[in-house]
Amino acid sequence: MTLPDYAIEARGLVKTYPATRTTAAKTALDHIDLAVPRGSIFGLLGPNGAGKSTFINILAGLTQKTSGKVSIWDRDIDSRPRDARAAIGVVPQELAADVFFTPRESLEVQAGLYGVPKAERQTDALLAALGLSDKADAYVRALSGGMKRRLMVAKAMVHRPPVLILDEPTAGVDVELRRQLWSYVKGLNDLGVTIVLTTHYLEEAQELCDTIAIVNRGKVVACEPTATLLQRLDTRAVVITPREPLSAVPDLGGFDARLRPDGRLAVTFKTATAGVEDVLNRVREAGVAIKDLATEDPDLEDVFLALTYADPMAADPTKD
């Protein structure tokens, strides 16, 4: 059997919510084109309200698209909806579990809903992989929030889908649990499972994702390999430790200078028009004695902010 080149493909995808008595019509997705390479860890990033959840809900069959084409594992969601949904497992952002079931019962019920024969179920293996074996027969209501989130990942994998969608999977969990979860996810990816991830932890996306798409106001504003995306900004920063503490930011002409909480001075410059020596000369001219310095390349947060919040009309990052 030939495997598809892309785990998920969306072409010209539009979702418009009609006007109501109290709200105007809203286009949540505006002719989205996305292709998720098979076997990748694909980051889907954007401000709150950018359209990420709408996209995921369309893939999961929870929201009807307005127009466009979408396929999951080469299965069109219109002509083969059940086959398409069987190809994905979705871990939603909200914790949702039947508190009167045990984790083992939850996985068995979920496997039954997907028609997985009892002989082919992997309940105990999933519980062990996600560190829930010792809680297998405890009621879900007695589990911590982190354990419930791990259970949701296990439920999404009961039918062994080739694509796993994780919507803010580490929101509100501690560092140790985050590491455990990502270790398991990386293991799944090594076995060939395609991972689609949404997260507000940009350093997490930068470390994990092969390819990243950034969505803003219903449009794809970038979709590139992570390394290529990080090269989009032609800026660098010189971070200077002054010999004497600075009480204010010195005037460095056209350079953007900011004092960091640790007392260091960060000076940003465009690599096309200036160099490190130009920055240092300007700093010396301003009377700042340099004790130490380092240079920093832009990270994903810099790129994300440049692509999403440069527009004053862009979505407010503090609101859903």
Structural domain boundaries of the chain? 1-87+161-232+299-320, 95-159, 235-297
**Chain centroid, CA 102 distance in Å:** 30
For position 310, what pLDDT does the model report? 53
Q: CATH: 3.50.50.100, 3.30.450.20, 3.40.50.2300, 3.40.50.300. Which one for 1-87+161-232+299-320?
A: 3.40.50.300
Q: What is the CA radius of gyration of the chain?
A: 24
Q: Which pLDDT score is estimated for 134?
A: 93
DSSP states along 238-302: EEEEESS--SS----TTSEEEE-TTS-EEEEEETTT--HHHHHHHHHHTTPPEEEEEEE---HHH
* Residue 119 pLDDT: 93
What CATH number belongs to 235-297?
3.30.70
The Cβ of residue 181 has, within 10 Å, a number of other Cβ atoms equal to 21
What is the DSSP-derived secondary structure letter of residue 142? G
Please report the pLDDT score of residue 311 as a whole number: 47
Cβ neighbours of residue 56 closer than 8 Å, sequence gap 6 or more: 44, 90, 165, 167, 196, 198
User: Residue 309's pLDDT is what?
Assistant: 65
The Cα 33–Cα 163 span in angstroms is: 18
Interstrand relation of 194-198 and 41-45 (parallel, antiparallel or unpaired): parallel
Mean per-residue pLDDT pooled into runs of 10, the chain (320 residues): 92 94 92 96 92 94 95 96 94 79 94 93 92 91 84 92 91 77 89 92 89 94 90 81 91 89 90 86 92 85 76 40
Round to whole Å and give the CA distance between 143 and 153: 14
The position carrying tokens 């004497």 is 244
In this chain, the answer to whether the domains covering 1-87+161-232+299-320 and 235-297 adopt an identical fold is no
Q: Hey, which residues does 163 pair with through a beta bridge?
A: 88, 194
Burial class, 208, CB count within 10 angstroms (exposed 0-12 / middle 13-18 / buried 19+): buried
Q: What distance in Å separates the CA atoms of residue 73 and residue 116, rounded to the nearest whole number?
A: 19
In this structure, how many other beta carbons lie within 10 angstroms of the beta carbon of residue 41? 26
